[in-house]
Structure 1
Amino acid sequence: MSLSPGFDVVHELTASSSGAEVFEHGWQSFSPTTAYPLGTRPHRPTSERNRMLNYRQASHPGREGYFSEGVLAVADGSGAVHVVAAADPFTTGVRLQAVADPGGSVVVGADGPVAVTVVPGSSVQEALRSWAVGAVEGAGLAPARPAPTAWCSWYEYWGDVRETDVVENLGAMRTLDLPIDVVQIDDGYSAEIGDWLTPSSTFTDLRGLVEKIRGEGRRAGIWLAPFFAGARSRLADEHPDWLLRHPHGGLLHAGNNWNQDLYSLDLSHPGAAEWMSSVFSTFAEWGIDYFKIDFIAAGAIPGSRYSGVDPVTAYRDGLRLIRSAVGPSAHILGCGAPVLPSVGLVDSIRVSADTGHTLEPGDGDMCSPSQQAAVLSADGRQFMNGVFFANDPDCLIVGPKVENRETWAAHVEKVGGAVVSSDRLLGLDDWGLETTRRLLTR
C-alpha cells in the first residue's frame, strides 16, 4: 500500500511485531479519535450523511492505512512514540497518513509542512501531552480556563423543550441546593435553524427567562449553530448571498438535519458578519455569558467565500467575530468543532461524539450518538484537557432510564473537564441525585 496522491513522505520508522500502535486524530469533535494496534482497521463513516456531518468534508479516508488530521502518533513498540504534527497545527489543516508493510516498516506522509518529535519511554497519551504543551507555548497562548458547572436541557427534552421545563429545573436547582453555575437552554427555543432571535412557539419570552435565571444567582447559557442556515429559515430565504457557494456557482450543501437541507453561512461576507455579530451581542446584552456553539465545522468546509480566504482562516475569523461580540469573560463551548483550529479561540470543547441513553451506536458508526462512541474519542483526546481548553466529554446523564449510567458517570468524572448535568432534576432517584451533586461539586 502506498500514500495517497498529494501526500509526501515526511517520516519513516520500524515498528516491532507487538506493542506498536497508531494514533489517529479526527478533524472535528464527532470524528473518531483513538490509538489502534498496528494492523487494526480504523473506524470509518458508515454513510455519506455521517461523513458530511461528522468528518472533514474534504477528506475521504480509506479503509486501509491510517489517516489523521493535524497530528498523528506511532508507538513503535520498542519504547518510543513518534509524533508527527502540522508545523502550525492551529491555523492550518494539514492531513497525515501512515501505511505499514508486513515487515514492520511504517511510512508517514503529509500534505503540508510538519514537525517530527520522537519521545522515548513514553505512552502515546504522555507523548501527545508533551507535544500539546509545547505547541501552546510556541503559539504564545494563555493557559486554558476551567469550565463552569452547568445544566443543559438537551438530553431530557431534546428539541421539544419548553420555557416551563427550564423554569421547573431552575426551581429544582434551588430546592435541591445543587452547585450549578450555568443554566443552558439548548436547541428548541428558536423558530428555525438560523433564525436565532425569532422564538419558537414554546418560548414566548426568552429574554424574561434569562432574567429569571440570573435572578436566581445563576448564569444564563444558550445554544446556537452559528454557521448553519436551515433551508426553511428566513435567513436562507432572505439572504442567499450570505451562504457558501460552489466554486462553479450554486449554494453549497452542508448536510441534512432537522429534516431539512443545511447551508453554511459565509461570515466573510460583511452583511453576514454584521448580522451574526448582532445576534451574539444581543444575547450578551440580555445577560447571557455562556455560549454553546454547535456544528461549527460547517464554518470550515471548502467553498467559494466572499473574501476568498481558505476554510481554516475563515473558520478562525468567524470564531474571533463571535468572541468580539460576547466579550472576553464569556465562556464559549465549541461543539462539532474542528478541534485543533479552535485552540486559543474557545474555552471548552466537545472532544467526542454525543453521548446517549444507550451504550452502543444504533448504526454502528463511532461518530454517532452513544456512550461507546463518546468514551472512545474523549479517551483519545484526554491529553488536551487543561492544555488546549477544558475537555467536554458531553453531558452527565444519570437518570434511571440511562443504560450503563454508573460507568458513564465514572467516565465523566475521569475526564476531569466540563461537568454539565442534563437530566430532569426532579426525576432523579437517590443514586442519580447523589452522583450529580458529587460530580458538580469541585
Structure 2
Amino acid sequence: MRDPLPIHHDGRVVAGPSEVVSGVEESVIEAARIALLHGIAQGDVYRTGQNSWSPAGWRRIDEEPLRVLRADRLQTADDPAHHDVVRHHSSWMMVVTGESGSVLLGCMEGETPRLRADTDVLTGWTETGRPGTWVLLRGAEQDVLARYRALLADRYGAMTAEPGAVWCSWYSLYEGVSQALLDDIVPELPGLGFDTVQIDDGWERIVGDWQPNEKFPGGMRATADGIAQAGLRPGLWIAPFIALPGSEIVARHPEMLLRDGNGDLVRAGENWGSHYYTFDFTRADARDHLVETVRRVVKDWGFTYLKLDFINAGAVAGRRSVDIDREAAYRQAIATIRDAVGPDVFLLGSGAPIFPSLGILDAVRTGPDVAPLWSHFVVTEPTDALGRNALVNATNRLWLRGLIGLDPDVVYFQRRQNLLTPEQRQWLLDCATLSGFRAVSDLPDWLESVDRDAVRDYLASRPNTRQLSRYRYAIDERIVDFSAAVDGLPGPYPL
C-alpha cells in the first residue's frame, strides 16, 4: 500500500483503499465534493471535456489549461458553466501523473460532475451539490485508465454493436447532397467494401423541421429503399435536440423550448450562421415530438443507422419543467430515443456528452470535424475542423475503446482537394483502425485505381492492436507513434 493521500470530502468512504488488479489502489467515496493533495508538482494532467468536440488530452500541470479559446465556440464545444482560463478542468474524470505514478479521480455516477486541478490539488464536485459516487485510483497511467474503464463498463455495460464500413456524404457533398447524386454514388459503394451509407446534413427542409427538401423529391422512404436494394444499410444524419429560429417547430410550439430563469429562450449553440434553440425534454409534449420524429425516420422511412448531432444541447443549463440535473435530463432524452427506435438501430452521437451517453448510445464521435487540411498558421482553436485537431482528440480518447464505440471521423484516400501529407493521412488511418470505426467520404469517381484497392483493403482489415505507451501502439507488427502529431500543439493563447 502507498502512503495515503491527504483527502477531504463531505461524504463517506464506501470502500478502500485496497489493491486491485495490476497494482492499482482503489477507494470509493460517496460525496458531493472531494479534494486531495496529489503531491505531483511536476507532471502532466489529463482532461476530457464535456462532449465530442471538447478538447481532450494532456498538458504539463504547470502550463495553462487545454480549453476552448473562442467565446463563440464555447457553448457548442464544451461546458461554459465550468470554463476556467487558469486551472485545468474536466468532465467526469481527471488524471494527474508524474514520476511517482498516476492519480485518477473519476465519477461513477453523479449529477454533472466536474473537476479542477493545479500543481497541488485535484478537486471534484457535482453541480447540484447532491452526493455522487467517486473512485480514486492510484497506479501506473495506463492501469488507472483501464481500471476506470472497467468500472464504468460494470456499471453501465459495454456497447459492442458494429457500425459497419460507413460511407458518409458530408466531406464530399456537404449540404449539396441530393437524391440525384446518391443515385450515381450508391451503386458503386458495395464494390468498394462499404455496407452502410450515412446521408448527412443537407437533406432536411431546415434544422428543426425533419422533412425532406426539394433535392429528395421522392421522399426519404424511397431513398432508404434504394440504399437497401443496393445491399447497404441506410443511415441518416439528424439533430433532433435543436431547432433554428426560422423553423416551423419554433413558430408553432415555442412552449416546448427550453428557457432560462427570466423566461427567455436559451441559445444552445451556434451553427449555420445562426444560434439555435433546444427543447425542454422534461415536458411530455417535447418527448412526444422527439418520439414522433425518430420513429418516422426509422419505422416509416427505414433508416436503421442514425447519426444524432448537436445532442449536447440536451444538457445545456436552463429552467426545466421538472427540477432535474441537466446531464440527467440529457440521458433521459437519449433513452427516450433508444426506447422509441429499439435496440437494433445503431445510434451514433456527435457533440455527445460522452459519459452520460454510456450504456445507451452505440458510439460517440471523439473529436471535432476532420478536414483535408492538417493545421492553419493562424488558427489555434482546438475545436476547429482540422485534421490535427480531430486526431489529437481521438487519440486521447482511445482509452475508452471497449466501453463505447469510438468514431474519430472519416479518413481520406482521395488525392484531389487534399492538402494532407502521406504521413498525416496515415496517422488518421491508424487512429481509425485503433478506434475500430471505419468511415470514408470520398466520392468513388475521385479515386484512382490504386486508391480503390487501398479503400477495399482498409475496410476489410481487422488487425490485432495493442497500446504500448501513451501515444505508441502496435497494429499487427507495425509500431505507430502519434507523439509527433500530438506534441508541440499551439498553446492556449487567444487570437
Q: What is the TM-score of this pair, normalised by structure 1?
A: 0.90
Measured in 2, the distance between the counterparts of 1:59 and 1:97 equals: 9
Q: 2:93 aligns with which of 71, 88, 91?
A: 71
* Residue 363 (structure 2) pairs with residue 343 (structure 1): no
Structure 1 or 2: larger strand share?
A: 2
> Cα distance 1:280–1:97, how it changes in 2: closer, same or farther (>3 A)?
same
Contact conserved, 2:66 with 2:88, CA < 8 A, in 1? no
- Aligned partner of 1:85 in structure 2 is 106
Measured in 2, the distance between the counterparts of 1:237 and 1:191 equals: 15
How far apart are 1:249 and its partner, in Å? 0.6
Contact conserved, 2:34 with 2:125, CA < 8 A, in 1? no
- Aligned partner of 1:412 in structure 2 is 429
Measured in 1, the distance between the counterparts of 2:159 and 2:209 equals: 35
- Aligned partner of 2:16 in structure 1 is none
Q: 2:233 aligns with which of 201, 219, 243?
A: 219
- Aligned partner of 1:35 in structure 2 is 58
Of stretches 432-441 and 245-254 in structure 1, the one that deviates more from structure 2 is 432-441
* Residue 202 (structure 2) pairs with residue 188 (structure 1): yes
Measured in 2, the distance between the counterparts of 1:45 and 1:70 equals: 17
Of stretches 260-269 and 213-222 in structure 1, the one that deviates more from structure 2 is 260-269
Spell out, residue by residue over 1:294-343, the C-alpha distance to the aligned partner (whole angstroms, 9 max, x if none).
01000000101123322111101110111112110110000001011111
How far apart are 1:278 and its partner, in Å? 1.1
Q: 1:44 aligns with which of 67, 87, 92?
A: 67
> Cα distance 1:95–1:313, how it changes in 2: closer, same or farther (>3 A)?
same
Partner amino acid for 1:144? T
Q: After the TM superposition, which residues 11-410 of structure 1 pair with which residues of structure 2 at under 5 Å, given as runs?
A: 11-15=36-40, 17=42, 20-62=43-85, 64-78=86-100, 80-88=101-109, 92-100=111-119, 106-112=120-126, 113=132, 115-120=134-139, 122-123=140-141, 125-137=142-154, 139-174=155-190, 177-197=191-211, 199-205=212-218, 206-285=220-299, 286-360=301-375, 363-387=379-403, 389-400=404-415, 401-404=417-420, 406=422, 407-410=424-427
How far apart are 1:279 and its partner, in Å? 1.3
Contact conserved, 1:84 with 1:114, CA < 8 A, in 2? no
Partner amino acid for 2:255? D
Measured in 1, the distance between the counterparts of 2:455 and 2:267 equals: 40
Contact conserved, 1:156 with 1:424, CA < 8 A, in 2? yes
Tell me the matched-pair count. 418
- Aligned partner of 1:4 in structure 2 is none
Partner amino acid for 1:284? V
Measured in 1, the distance between the counterparts of 2:65 and 2:111 equals: 24
Q: SS of the residue aligned with 1:111?
A: strand
Q: SS of the residue aligned with 1:118?
A: strand
Measured in 1, the distance between the counterparts of 2:188 and 2:298 equals: 25
Q: SS of the residue aligned with 1:320?
A: helix
Q: SS of the residue aligned with 1:253?
A: coil
Q: 2:458 aligns with which of 422, 429, 439?
A: 439
> Cα distance 1:429–1:40, how it changes in 2: closer, same or farther (>3 A)?
farther
Partner amino acid for 1:382? L
Measured in 2, the distance between the counterparts of 1:303 and 1:412 equals: 40
How far apart are 1:46 and its partner, in Å? 2.4
Contact conserved, 1:273 with 1:321, CA < 8 A, in 2? yes
Spell out, residue by residue over 1:36-78, the C-alpha distance to the aligned partner (whole angstroms, 9 max, x if none).
122222332222111011011322221x221111000011222
Measured in 1, the distance between the counterparts of 2:186 and 2:421 equals: 23
Partner amino acid for 1:76? G
> Cα distance 1:431–1:97, how it changes in 2: closer, same or farther (>3 A)?
farther
> Cα distance 1:16–1:301, how it changes in 2: closer, same or farther (>3 A)?
closer
Measured in 2, the distance between the counterparts of 1:210 and 1:435 equals: 28
Partner amino acid for 1:402? N
Measured in 2, the distance between the counterparts of 1:280 and 1:312 equals: 21
Gaps of 5+ in 1: 1-6, 101-105
How far apart are 1:126 and its partner, in Å? 3.9
Q: SS of the residue aligned with 2:210?
A: coil
Measured in 2, the distance between the counterparts of 1:268 and 1:437 equals: 46
Q: What is the TM-score of this pair, normalised by structure 2?
A: 0.81
Partner amino acid for 2:38? L
Spell out, residue by residue over 1:366-410, the C-alpha distance to the aligned partner (whole angstroms, 9 max, x if none).
0111111111111111100122x1110001222112222532344
Measured in 2, the distance between the counterparts of 1:318 and 1:114 equals: 22
How far apart are 1:9 and its partner, in Å? 5.2
Measured in 1, the distance between the counterparts of 2:224 and 2:162 equals: 23
Spell out, residue by residue over 1:80-115, the C-alpha distance to the aligned partner (whole angstroms, 9 max, x if none).
210001141xx5311101111xxxxx2111223463
Task: Answer 1 or 2: higher relative contact order, Cα 8 Å, separation at least 6.
Answer: 1
Contact conserved, 1:82 with 1:116, CA < 8 A, in 2? no
Measured in 2, the distance between the counterparts of 1:343 and 1:264 equals: 22
Measured in 1, the distance between the counterparts of 2:34 and 2:330 equals: 28
Contact conserved, 1:399 with 1:423, CA < 8 A, in 2? yes
Of stretches 157-166 and 401-410 in structure 1, the one that deviates more from structure 2 is 401-410
* Residue 443 (structure 2) pairs with residue 424 (structure 1): yes
